[in-house]
A and B are shown apart, each in its own frame.
Chain A
Amino acid sequence: MSPTLKSQNPKPVAPPGRLPKCPTGIQGLDEITDGGLPRGRPTLVCGGAGCGKTLLGAEFLVRGATQFNEPGVLMAFEETEAELKANVASLGFDLAGLVRQKKMLIDYVHIERSEVQESGEYDLEGLFVRLNHAIDSIGARRVVLDTLEALFAGLPNEAILRSELRRLFRWLKDKGVTAVITAERGREQLTRHGLEEYVSDCVILLDHRLNDQIATRHLRIVKYRGALHGTNEFPFLIGDKGISVLPITSLALNHQVSNERIATGIPRLDAMLGGKGFFRGSSILLTGTPGTGKTIISCNFAKAACLRGERVLFFSFEESPNQIIRNMHSIGLRLEPCVKRDLLRFHSARPSLYGLEMHLATMFKEIAEFQPDVVIVDPITSLVEAGTDSECKGMVTRLIDYLKAGQVTTLFTSLTQGGHALQQSEMAMSSLMDSWLLLQDFEGNGERNRVVYVLKARGMAHSNQVREFLISDRGIDVVDAYIGPSGVLTGSARAAQEALEKAGLLTGQQEADRRKRELERKRIAIDRQISGLRSDYETEALELRRIDEQVGTSTLMLNSERAASGRLRQADAKVAGGLRHRARLARIN
């Protein structure tokens, strides 16, 4: 079988004008190399001991064989076939299976200087023949030489070796295979024996650096002839699924957004957030000093999500799952049913267990496995211990971007140390967050009381009020804090103030009642007076009427008496007719 170099390639052909690339299948590496390693050319991977050179090579071959249908040859100079198989099995690579299926071939080259005696001119045709045979026997398109520099130790004549290596790289190019050559990092140059002078197309540098007792692996593309590539140093890690390079810069800000709102599990808190809670897929930061109830709010949020049938992944860096579940009993929050229904999963790890990148990889892995709707990280500040601030921010950025891309709502709690400004979040993470709740202690009257307020909530009307936040055995309650002339009062001061107000109100009411009663009494008194006066008046009026009647009667009687006496004096009646009239007038006058 001869290596068919141009045909049967399932990968899309690169557009004209671009260097054809060979995807590695290694998570993240293809992104920063913009498609993979240069196809048909050798790539040099150099780095110190234990930084993952062999693994990168092995994964390149395994992914090629399994994902891109490109068989590969691994020529190992340091490890035997059996050792290699055992070593990469821990990453879930089944080398033995691939070898059986003829998708991979491992050729262990053993050179021991003490067994070899130089006795004249020679060349490395043996190596070429073996490599050629290996490539041809499985139709390999990829080759890894790990570590070619062992030849320098095994063969005495460096001049011959160098000329032969030059020939080897030329030959590999002519053969059209995509090759990865690993080499040990040198002191002043990239490789100990200056292999970079032969491999000029692509050079990748691996590095394993210790920073404050925590080791992080980094990958950097030193050189990539004829192609754009990320030039930064990218952290990478070796997880149980192989290498994953974590590029920050390759993530774009273009994720989908949702208008759906999800409740926090605390009705009054929802009310503070425009009445509906957070946006789905948003990132929420919960800052607070120690003991302000960050975990409790988180657990409430988790429970509320579980009750909606959503899946919640809870990363706890301070407490074990059982401890959290037990502690939540004290506020009447039962999380076991959620755990039992597999809606809630805890992942607890000490921050110092491993480096930041490893934490991130573990989190990615858990998230990918569990497919949660809500992710809670309690607290994110613990991770600062596992790395520097800038690394931590980078990590949070990556985590948020990753989660937002999947429309996962994320709640981070952040511990603010006492004495610091509350708005200071260690990692300057606030700009990454869509909503920010602040929990605070109010100290006074010999007690500490918790208050909560919404510092920011992007895209929603939210309350500007400080609310007191009560934790009882019935759960969380958010109540209005007393805001009056004497400032914001909470706790017993608020209760006392409320009692005082109640007493004041009562007194006022009593006073009003008393006045009302008095007025009534007055009204009744006046009424009584009025009726007295009226009866007086009526008596007098009656009297007046009686007098009137008497007067009338007496006048009548007088008139009739006069008439009678006139009749008695009839004699002068005629004369007196005119006189009578005058006399009557005079009498009247």
Chain B
Amino acid sequence: MNIKTPKRRKRSLVSAPVKAGQCVLRLFVAGASVRSRQAVMRVRELCAAELRANCRLEVIDIYQQPQLARDNQIVATPTLIKEYPRPVRRYIGNLLNTSGLFADLPAPLKPNRVN
């Protein structure tokens, strides 16, 4: 599990090679609000539950990087964008109502679990 600092640009993430089976998540939050913190915690929780270590999560504060909000078509916060594995999916909200981020994926595409 690898949570990047909010200061890191999106490009660094995209340019980094995505390893097969790796999961790439980006979480856009607006400042350090309760909701933001809830979302970060929840994403970590879900990742831990479903993916264990094979996950890259980038948390972006749109107050710090408003341009990224535009580039990524962010309207609601918090928004989680699941870049990999495909298809790209967006989750809006603090993720408290979601049981899993990867439940909709068929079994072969699921990231390898490390038991």
Contact = CB atoms under 8 A, between A and B. Distances in A.
Interface in A126-182: 126-127, 129-130, 132-134, 151, 154-155
B96 interface: yes
Given A109-B75, A126-B75, A120 B93 contact: yes
Chain B CB count within 10 A is highest, among A109, A117, A124, A134, for: A117
Contacts, number: 97
B92 A117 contact: yes
A126 B77 contact: yes
B63 A109 contact: no
Interface string B63-98: 100110110011111111000000011111111111
Contacts of B66: 129-130, 132-133
A117 B91 contact: yes
Chain A CB count within 10 A is highest, among B67, B70, B75, B95, for: B75
A115 interface: yes
A133 B69 CA distance: 10
A110 interface: yes
A197 interface: no
A119 B76 contact: no
A116 B30 contact: no
A396 interface: no
A295 B63 CA distance: 71
Contact of A116 (B31, B42, B70, B92): B92
Contacts of B30: 123, 125-126, 129
Nearest to A115: B90
A121 B75 contact: no
B69 A129 contact: yes
Chain B CB count within 10 A is highest, among A107, A124, A151, for: A124
B37 interface: no
Given A115-B89, A125-B30, A133-B69, A120 B95 contact: yes
B91 to A, nearest CB: 4
A118 interface: yes
Contacts of A132: 66
Contacts of A155: 75-76, 92
A163 to B, nearest CB: 13
B90 A117 contact: yes
A130 B76 contact: no
B75 A111 contact: yes
A117 B74 contact: no
B70 to A, nearest CB: 5
Nearest to A160: B76
A115 B77 CA distance: 15
Given A110-B73, A116-B90, A122 B97 contact: no
B40 interface: no
Contacts of B74: 126, 129-130
Given A115-B90, A129-B30, A133-B67, A121 B96 contact: yes
Interface string A81-124: 00000000000000000000000000101110001111111111
Nearest to B91: A119
Contacts of B57: none
Contacts of B98: 117, 119-120
A141 to B, nearest CB: 19
Contacts of B63: 129
Given A109-B75, A117-B89, A117-B90, A126 B69 contact: yes
Chain A CB count within 10 A is highest, among B30, B88, B93, B97, for: B93
A475 to B, nearest CB: 72
A401 B91 CA distance: 61
Given A116-B92, A119-B92, A120-B98, A125 B70 contact: no
A109 B73 contact: yes
Given A110-B73, A121-B93, A129 B35 contact: no
B30 to A, nearest CB: 4
A118 B73 contact: no
Contacts of A134: 70
A119 B35 contact: no
Interface string B39-56: 100100000000000000
Interface in A346-386: none
A109 B79 CA distance: 15
Contacts of B76: 122-127, 155
Given A122-B79, A122-B93, 11 more contacts: A117-B89, A117-B98, A120-B39, A120-B42, A122-B94, A123-B35, A126-B75, A126-B79, A129-B69, A130-B70, A133-B69
Interface of B: 28, 30-31, 35, 38-39, 42, 62-63, 66-67, 69-70, 73-80, 88-98
13 contacts: A119-B80, A119-B92, A122-B93, A122-B94, A125-B76, A126-B74, A129-B63, A129-B69, A130-B75, A132-B66, A134-B70, A155-B76, A155-B92
